[in-house]
Structure 1
Amino acid sequence: MLEYFPFYLGLIVTILLLIMLANKIKVAYPVLLVLAGLAISFIPGIPTVHIDPELLFIIFLPPLLYEASWAISWKELWKWRRIIGSFAFVVVFLSALSVAFVANHFIPGFSLALGFLLGGIVSPPDAVSAGAILRFVKVPKRMSSILEGESLLNDASSLIIFRFAAIAVATGQFIWTDAALSFSWMLIGGVGIGLAIGMIFMKLHKYLPTDTNIDTALSIITPYLMYIAAEEAHTSGVLAVVSGGLLLSNKRHHFLSSGSRLRGVNVWESLVFILNGLVFTLIGLDLPEITSSLGPVSITSAIGYGLLISAVLIVGRILAAYGAVVVTLIARNFISVADTRNPGIKVPFILGWTGMRGVVSLAAALSIPVQLTDGTAFPQRNLILFITFIVILVTLLLQGLTLPYLIKKIGLPDVDNILPEEEADGLIRKQMAEHGLLHLRTNYAAQLSAQPFLQQVASKWENTGQLVDETDMARESKAVYLDLLDHQRQWLLNKNKQEESLDEDIIRKHLKYLDLEEEKLRFT
């Protein structure tokens, strides 16, 4: 292993350079990294990369899911829960069903069970790819929220389908009652274990004498413990990480200090940056091993099967996006929906086009056992691996490269009816200053008249609504100012809950300002 250390070190440097190039030319970095991995794999003398599926599932997946659950807005997730749930569960199941029937009909030797296995593998779109692409274009807030929410849940639903299909292939039978009980346990057990471990870690953060370094270390341990505990209980590790992450994210201001919140974000951004880069490069590097295992199937036939399945997935997702709109327009006559307006034909098409596949699909394919329990070879394993690779490559290149152009060309309507960011930002700053002034004058009138620093705070908020400059202050003034910051923080959290149309990103921006202001007190 040590002899390959220079290779992996050079690989990380190459990844960093490629991501900088991707930002320069405004191309989603997963596309460049997969292509670079492909190119590197053909260089003579390069070590053959064998990707252990356990490595992808255990090492990479928990932190990536955990970070995503911290980044997403719970308010937006709940607001669009119906369409997110439909894409994460219903559309994933329909995609797997479509792939199953097409594979059974057109690919020799594919049973329906094998088709469902392949469908479970390739049905979940990859969140990282879509997120990297959407960085360069402006899309309505609702679309980004739906894509983020879907990505948190679709991995769980697809892996559940994959497990049931693998059991059906191995045993030759599928018992619906057993499957229903197992499915229920995976959902309930996964969520329950995630919430339970999340509660335990929340108490650890809150009541133990931790500091920022310990808080950050605990945050890195948390997703791994959630995932492993859930998998050991034969339930969904993905749902455990997502549910636990959402709980801790939503309660972060109740158990983490301002320093832990600020420094933890920096550590997690760097960690996820490296993990994502490695994952997409490894996908390209694994091509020689995948192609060498095709056996009697010709490379041209295998590519044709991969293109066929890719087309089924792309067309199926687009149709599902329009179907979701139709269902919503009908359902609004009977139940309350997040938005009763017709989004037109542009938004569903773009939503349907954001179906790039990635690391979860490759990890699931690699985790197919080489042999069945009776010692015979697992049927069509090598072909499934190759088709999965083609689907990942085609969706990343075709959809990943064209999505920014389509978004700019189509010109998505902004139907969210929210204030422009600058205007909303200024309004929040002004209201936050007014709230702070009221609290200061009501509860600390004597200190305000006696402490020059508090007078400066009042003057600054009264005139500009900005935070105060760093300056020396008395211990009493510092205690009052910390209380003011805490009340402003609570006001922001309450305002975010009460105003559904308010962009949570603006609230988080001002919460970060308050954390920075609180940290400044350490050096005064």
Structure 2
Amino acid sequence: MSSSALLPLVAGSAAVAGLARRIRLSAPLLLVAVGLVASYVPGVPEYTLDPELVLPLVLPPLLYTAALDSSYRGLRANVRPVALLSVGYVLFSTLAVGLIAYAVIPGLPIAAAFVLGAVVAPPDAVAATAIARKVGLPRRIVTILQGESLVNDATAITAYRVAVAAAVGEGFSWGTAFGEFLLAALGGTAVGLVLMVPLQWARTRLRDRLLLNTFSLLVPFAAYAAAEAFHASGVIAVVVVGLYLGHHAHTVDFALRLQEDSVWRMVAFILESAVFALIGLQLPVVLRALGHYSTGELLLWAVLVLGAVIVMRFVWCWPATYLPVLLSARVREREGMPDWTRPFVIAWAGMRGVVSLAVAFSIPETVKDSAGGTPFPDRDLILYLTFVVVIGTLLLQGLTLPRLVRALPLPAPDPQREVLLEAQAQNDASIAAAERLDVLLAEPRNRLPAPLETRLRRVLDRRQNAVWERLGSAVDEESGESADAVYRRLGKETIAAEREVFVRLRDDDRIDDELLRRLIRNLDFEEALVDRGEE
């Protein structure tokens, strides 16, 4: 893809995704639709991606962002269901969907069928967890979905590579396949474990924030490349490093945490938007290459493969949830018998997304042979079916999941309990901070004028009292806002008034731009304090 074509793709996809967020539509579906329309506009280039660059450029930042935002303790507490979904289910789905595709599509090689199965095997649970948080799913289900999304990509990509090797004639054996999985899993974990400590050491020693942000951008690509150099799983290496650095994020500079979060959100937003836009842009090209199939055949195969993907997740989730409980008395005592709603929601939250697309785009276009290279068997058909599965699951499952969650008798989260836990934690921290302040102020070198000492103590009191006030805050009947919401709104309006004065002083040549930027930056931090928790 040329640089002249890359800029319109990134800018256009970001604009469409931003519009979708504003009008509350599904961004992936709108991106596909707009990309499809744009592909017929004269002058729009025909976008093609280098298959060898897709995975190392797209997957590391997306997985790293998800890992930084995940809970290591939560994953460890739910290691069995996460492993059953991220490893067991992905392998089961690869085999089941591959065999079904091989049975219903005449002439499709078995190896190519397994390539398709591996490509559509990993659910994009990141999208599911975003919906889960909005509709208030139980925390354990959210953690399981998050953990699945981190590890299932490694399993699927390893299965994909084994299937591709068989499809290009490099041979296949169960022993070789098992060795590939073992090397990928253990090697990727080992590389991640080796890298995570020195990377964390560097993050805590660097002081230049610009350098730190640059370093942060390089971390997932470095971990991925290091693991791939040993023929191990770069995905697992990135996840291990991301989980460790996220678990120790409190040890780095506060400004880095704020900047890093914004930077990685932007990177993930751009990559996901561009990949979904590419579906629409490439769909006409893929369909033209399938001209030797009838429309009825393509529709039938699409429905059967999509149905297999959805049904096989239910086939796996129910026994994976209940068999461990039925077979182990210790698990029964610790967890009890799960309610039927948990496996049902987890099964329905199996939307496919950007990972499946990235893996599909990475399928080699040709197979090297004695003739110099022949087309990869049924590559365009695999791309087409992948597009259908991604779009179909986003339509069927993504759009209905919120309503389903609200309709099911799931245990509702207790917001008062959450606020109470936050208030108790803040109270303990404030008491420790006040005791530390007393010790520091007792030292002669730390003595402050009375107004400054009073200001420090007021800040501590404000943080301690703010959360407790939220427990008793009621919604005003006239404004429809809670006291907490009114506080945030008034705080932001007063800060906006200060900001307008600073700008006016700059425009009147009473202060220069450098001083304006410093004053505005201070107000930005104040607004961040006022605005905390609103999102």
TM-score class normalised by the smaller sequence: 0.7 to 0.9
Equivalent of 2:341 in 330, 343, 346:
346
CA distance in 1, matches of 2:6, 2:382: 31
Are 1:288 and 2:284 counterparts? yes
Q: Secondary structure at the match of 2:95?
A: helix
CA distance in 1, matches of 2:324, 2:350: 21
Deviations 1:430-455 (A, max 9, x none): 12112223444567655699643456
CA distance in 2, matches of 1:12, 1:301: 32
- CA contact 1:211–1:260 (8 Å) conserved in 2: no
Worse-matched range after superposition: 420-429 or 57-66: 420-429
CA distance in 1, matches of 2:126, 2:279: 14
Deviations 1:312-371 (A, max 9, x none): 11111123222222123225514588x613332222111111111122222222322233
Deviations 1:254-279 (A, max 9, x none): 3x222222222222222222222222
Worse-matched range after superposition: 114-123 or 322-331: 322-331
Are 1:97 and 2:64 counterparts? no
Mark the CA change 1:460 to 1:193 in structure 2 (over 3 Å): closer, same or farther: closer
Worse-matched range after superposition: 145-154 or 327-336: 327-336
Partner of 2:198: 200
CA distance in 2, matches of 1:331, 1:417: 32
Structure 2 counterpart of 1:231, one-letter code: E
Deviations 1:135-193 (A, max 9, x none): 54221111111111110111100011111112222237422333322221111111222
Q: CA deviation at 1:287?
A: 0.6
- CA contact 1:193–1:240 (8 Å) conserved in 2: yes
- CA contact 1:194–1:226 (8 Å) conserved in 2: yes
Deviations 1:108-139 (A, max 9, x none): 12343332221111100113432443354221
Worse-matched range after superposition: 232-241 or 9-18: 9-18
- CA contact 1:202–1:248 (8 Å) conserved in 2: yes
Q: TM-score, normalised by structure 1?
A: 0.81
Mark the CA change 1:223 to 1:10 in structure 2 (over 3 Å): closer, same or farther: closer
- CA contact 1:318–1:349 (8 Å) conserved in 2: yes
- CA contact 2:192–2:241 (8 Å) conserved in 1: yes
Q: CA deviation at 1:377?
A: 3.4
Share of identical aligned residues, percent?
Answer: 34
Are 1:156 and 2:154 counterparts? yes
Mark the CA change 1:154 to 1:13 in structure 2 (over 3 Å): closer, same or farther: closer
Q: How big is the alpha-carbon RMSD for the aligned residues of Structure 1 and Structure 2?
A: 2.9
Equivalent of 1:364 in 348, 351, 359:
359
Q: CA deviation at 1:2?
A: 5.7
- CA contact 2:51–2:364 (8 Å) conserved in 1: no
After TM superposition, the structure 1 = structure 2 runs for residues 90-489 of structure 1, keeping only pairs within 5 Å, are: 90-134=88-132, 136-171=134-169, 173-208=171-206, 210-254=207-251, 256-335=252-331, 340-374=335-369, 375-414=373-412, 420-441=417-438, 445=442, 451=448, 452=450, 453-454=452-453, 457-458=456-457, 461=460, 465-466=464-465
Mark the CA change 1:461 to 1:9 in structure 2 (over 3 Å): closer, same or farther: closer
CA distance in 1, matches of 2:11, 2:376: 36
CA distance in 2, matches of 1:271, 1:170: 34
Mark the CA change 1:206 to 1:432 in structure 2 (over 3 Å): closer, same or farther: closer
Mark the CA change 1:117 to 1:234 in structure 2 (over 3 Å): closer, same or farther: same
Deviations 1:451-485 (A, max 9, x none): 43456545764697259xxxxxxxxxxxxxxxxxx
- CA contact 1:226–1:241 (8 Å) conserved in 2: yes
Mark the CA change 1:361 to 1:258 in structure 2 (over 3 Å): closer, same or farther: same
- CA contact 2:322–2:338 (8 Å) conserved in 1: no
Worse-matched range after superposition: 428-437 or 83-92: 428-437
Structure 2 counterpart of 1:41, one-letter code: S
Structure 1 counterpart of 2:121, one-letter code: S
CA distance in 2, matches of 1:273, 1:103: 33
Aligned residues: 464
- CA contact 1:30–1:129 (8 Å) conserved in 2: no
- CA contact 1:283–1:359 (8 Å) conserved in 2: no
CA distance in 2, matches of 1:253, 1:463: 22
CA distance in 1, matches of 2:433, 2:358: 51
Q: TM-score, normalised by structure 2?
A: 0.79
- CA contact 2:275–2:358 (8 Å) conserved in 1: no
Q: CA deviation at 1:379?
A: 2.2
- CA contact 1:121–1:365 (8 Å) conserved in 2: yes
Q: CA deviation at 1:37?
A: 2.2
Partner of 1:480: none
Runs of 5+ consecutive residues of structure 2 not aligned to the other structure: 467-524, 530-535
Mark the CA change 1:31 to 1:139 in structure 2 (over 3 Å): closer, same or farther: farther
- CA contact 2:441–2:447 (8 Å) conserved in 1: no
Structure 1 counterpart of 2:218, one-letter code: I
Mark the CA change 1:280 to 1:217 in structure 2 (over 3 Å): closer, same or farther: same
Structure 1 counterpart of 2:346, one-letter code: L
- CA contact 1:33–1:280 (8 Å) conserved in 2: yes
Deviations 1:53-84 (A, max 9, x none): 34431222111111110001111111111101
Deviations 1:377-401 (A, max 9, x none): 3322222121111111111111111
Partner of 1:83: 81
Structure 2 counterpart of 1:52, one-letter code: D
CA distance in 2, matches of 1:160, 1:205: 31
